[in-house]
Structures are given as structure tokens and as C-alpha cells.
Structure 1
């Protein structure tokens, strides 16, 4: 399920044409209360499917715009954070992300994974406060690099800024060793140089197994 909040209509159309999952959207010409309504309906549908034993993934673009919508629609608490953000407006977005979990098989199974994007470096103090509030709350963080994107180097990922919690539970011993070895090798480099070096190494091998052997030798 792809949830697009406060998005441009052409982006919605393009995503629908990709055929990658079900697209639910509220475009930027809709009021904030519509953004909130669509987000909550999507989450409720996902929960029902999880209760039926399904594994559901919600891709949310973006948590920043969703938090803005809640900030607009909610009654003020009387306490305003930096950037004009009401202190209560982040409560619902936090609940949204907090809905992600895996249900025990004895309770019907199913799981809900939420992948959310956050806007940074927009020049908006509100956006920065939202980002800082959610930073570090996820199980995995993938930081994109504008510098790499400007150079047309893809994937445009800031390797040093990206990480996954408890990666030892996801990787075998050899892959975990490779991850640690590459991080030590690339530490201290800027994101562009790090990615260029990693891509150069990967082009010399055909698989992760070959890459592990190449690095060890």
C-alpha cells in the first residue's frame, strides 16, 4: 500500500502507472483534514488485513506532510514548539508509525511494516523539528544524498548516515563481517566518495559471496 499525502497529482499518476502495489493518495489541492482522513483510513485497512494473517507494507510519503496536516487540523494545546508546531500534533503521526509490528503466530500471525520518508533541508524550521522528533525511532534509517543525486550517481545513499538496528539478526556471519569491514574502510569519507568506492568494488564481483571473498583476499 502506497500512501501519498499532500502530493503532486502528476506524482500520484506516475506511481499508479508503475503498478507497484495499491496507491492511496490525497493531493496537495485537498484540505488538511482530507489528508488526515485518508491516512487514518489506510492505516485501519492495513490493520484489518494484518488481523487476517496478511503481511502488509505501507510506504508513506511523507511523515513530514502528515505531521503538518495534523498540526493544521488539531485544536491547539497552548504549547507551541519551534517552527510553529503544536506540541500535540506529533502524537497521531507517532501512533501511525507505532502501529508497525509483527503479530505472534499464536495470535493469528500477520505483520505491518511502515516505510516512511521525511523531508530535510527544506529551509522550514517546522520540517526540521518534525524530522528531529522521528529521527532514531525506526528500525532502519536510509539517508539520501542530494550531492550524489546531483551527480546522477545512484543509489544516492549516504552510507555513513544510514544504518539498521540489530543487523546481526538479518545477516549471516560472513555478510555481517563484510558490512563492518566496508564501514571501517569508508569511515571518514564524504558520501559521494564512499558510494563511488563501493560501486567500484561491487562492479568487480557478481554476488555478495564473491564480494566477501574479494575483500578478504
Structure 2
């Protein structure tokens, strides 16, 4: 069975299959959750794990290979190896959320290995091969407004709707002095989007923030939080931001609406200023033009 076959079934048929497989709590699951739990149970019945992660394609001098990253899209001991043949055959790209059957590492191996791809960004692998590339999509001016207002006592989002409305496909920048409440405004924007538009994939990228602020944001919003805190290398700040952007591009290619909230672009610019090769020119504040 594959994800395309399961998604073509009615939810009653999926619940019957889940009942036969003794999947706990199947009666309260939505269709997408049932599909993944059935795939997981099927993989475990064959002696494999069913896992997933965000793909990062790594090129070295010898070969091209991929790894499914987990926490904050960064390398870790639980990464899953993806072979070059799978990447080429299925047309996988950096930022894809890939799920499938996984086997444990052998004696001379370091990572888990992906045996069979079951889904790519929630689609069947065959359907994912036909998706367009982000670079070929046509950019247009925003023509659909995102309503941020939720509760009468939250005034910031009501004022944004009146004074500086946000549309789908729009870029925005919050400029303010330190300790003025930028993070609070971002949090209220995130809650407004998740409450009014549950179909929008919300990503909050925190660069150079304190770990306790990351925890607070994760507990306060209903969305994906990706972070690289101030105590981590600046090169990691840049990599996390680039992986988050690649993840958003893959979702857009799949037809999803994505909102990225970045805090803060100042620290990201400082990170690029320290990692790029010097151009020999310097702007005010010691900023290299290539960092921008």
C-alpha cells in the first residue's frame, strides 16, 4: 500500500483498516493522521521503522547524498541517510519533508537509512515528481488580505488591519528600538494567522534569540518554530535561515500558502557579515555589502 492508494479511500474504510491493525485512538483521528498511522503500522509489521524529516542534499567531491534532518533542520545523531539514486529517481529537493520506511544502521554504518519513500510533502512520490520548480512560478502583487484580528482586547492586530494590512505574498518589516515589543507583536500576528487561516503553514524563525524566548514562542503559537539561539555559531544562524526558506519554497511548489515570521533580520545580517568572504568595501557600522 502507498499514500496515494490510502488517500483515495473514504475515512470509514481507513478506520476499518486501523481497527484491524489495532491502532489506538483511530476513531478520533483525521484522515491525514489515519493515513500516516496505517503506513507506520504497515512498516513496523515488516520489521522497519516509519520516520521522516526535512531533506538536506549535501554535495561533496565524491558524491551527492541526502540526510533527513529533525530538530531545527540541523545535523544530529538521528539523521536518516538518503541515497543519491533515490534523490535523482524521485526528483527530491532540499527542504522536502520526506517520510518512509527506515532501517537501522549496520555494523559499518553511522546513520539510519531510508529504504522506501512513502510521501513527499504529504503527497505521493509520483505526484511530487510532477510539481513545478519555485523559480518558474509567476510572482504577482498581493490581492488577498490576511485578517489578523481575533479578540477585541488585542489591539495590535486590529491596528495592523487598519493601518498596515498584510496580504498573501507580501513582505513586511518591523522597525523599532530595542525592548519595544517587536517579539510580542510577532507572536500576536502568528496567533491571528493560525486562528483565522488554519490552512496556512506558519513558520516562525528565531535567529540569535535567547533559549527561553524560543521556548516561550513555541508554547504561545500554533505553528512551526525553527531556531538558532545566540549561543550557537553564526554560521549555524545562516544555515537555519536558508533551510527554513528552502522548506517554504517546497511547500509553495506543493500548492500551500506559507507565512514566515523572522526574528530578527538584524542578527541574521550580522551573521552573514561574519561568514561571507570580505569584498574589500565597508558600509556604515562595519557591514560588508555582500552580506546584504
TM-score (norm 1): 0.41
Structure with the higher fraction of residues in strand conformation: 2
- Larger RCO, structure (CA 8 Å, separation 6 or more): 1
Structure with the higher fraction of residues in helix conformation: 1
TM-score (norm 2): 0.31
